[in-house]
Structure 1
Amino acid sequence: MQAVSIHVVDVANGVVATGMRVDIVRADGAPGTAEGERWTPVATGKVGRNGVMDGIEGRERLFDVGVYELRLHVADYYRARGTPSLPQPAFMEVQVFRFGIADASQHYHLPVKLTPWGLSCFRGAA
C-alpha cells in the first residue's frame, strides 16, 4: 500500500492546482532539537490534472516512520496563473506542512485546499 498521497485544490479558482511544485523532505534526527534540523529530500513532483502529486505513486518504501515536511510552492503556482492581486513578496511563498508517520503500513492521505492567503491540510481518507 502506498503510504502517502497528496491532493491539492485551488479553492480560490475552483480547480485542482495543476502544475504546482511539491517537495517532500524527511527529518534526519529530531526536529526542534539543539543539534538543529537537517532535512533529506524524499520526493519532488507536480500536481497533475487529477489534483494528485506525481512522483510518489507506487513507491511503497519511499516513506517510513518519521517526521516529514510537505513544501508547497504556492506563490510560483499563483504567479504562473497570472493572479493579479498577488503582492511582492507573496504572503505565502513556500508553505510548509510538517507531519509524522507513526505506522508506515497505514495510508496517509493529505488533502490540501489553498488560496494565495491561506491553506488547510489534514489527514484524510482516500
Structure 2
Amino acid sequence: MAAVRPPGLTTHVLDLVRGRPGAGMAWRLYRVVNDRRALLAQGRTNADGRTDQPLLQGDTLRAGLYELEFDAAAYFHDAGGPTGSIWTTIPIRFEISDEGGHYHVPLLLAPGGYSTYRGS
C-alpha cells in the first residue's frame, strides 16, 4: 500500500543528460492573480535535486494559479558538460484546486528539451 503524502507542493529536478539529480538549480515560486506574479518563495535544489522543505504546506497551500520557474541556463553553465541549451528559464504554470491534496511538480531537463508531469 502506497504511503499517503501530506498536503503540500514539492518539486524534483532530474538532469537527463548526466543521469542524476539537478542539484543546485535556482527556482522561484509565484502566485499568479490576474496574470500578475507575486513571489512567494525562492531557493536552490539540494544534492538530491529536491527542496529541503515543501514549497507550500499547511496554511500556505491555497487554491489558485501558481508558477514554478527554474534557472536552466545558469544550471547548465554551473554544471559544466554539454552546453548549447536554448532554455534560459523554464516556467511551469499550474493550478492547485484541492487544498488538502499533494502536488508534486518534477522537471526532467536536458539541453535540447524538458518535460514535466503531475507526480505523486
Give the TM bin, normalised by the shorter chain. 0.7 to 0.9
How far is the alpha carbon of 1:84 from its aligned partner? 4.6
| Displaced runs of 4 or more, over 3 A | 54-59
How far is the alpha carbon of 1:111 from its aligned partner? 1.8
| Native 8 Å contact 2:68 2:93 kept in 1 | yes
Instruction: Quickly say closer, same or farther: Cα 1:84–1:13, change in 2 above 3 A.
Output: closer
User: Counterpart in 1 of 2:32?
Assistant: 27
Superposition RMSD in Å: 1.7
User: Counterpart in 1 of 2:38?
Assistant: 40
Rounded to whole Å, the distance in 2 between the matches of 1:46 and 1:82 is 17
Identity of aligned residues (%): 30
User: Counterpart in 1 of 2:119?
Assistant: 124
Equivalent pairs counted in the alignment come to 115
User: Counterpart in 1 of 2:81?
Assistant: 83
| Native 8 Å contact 2:26 2:43 kept in 1 | yes
Structure that is richer in strand per residue:
2
Instruction: Quickly say closer, same or farther: Cα 1:119–1:103, change in 2 above 3 A.
Output: same
| Native 8 Å contact 2:41 2:55 kept in 1 | no
Rounded to whole Å, the distance in 2 between the matches of 1:55 and 1:44 is 12
Secondary structure, in 3 states, of the residue corresponding to 1:77?
A: helix
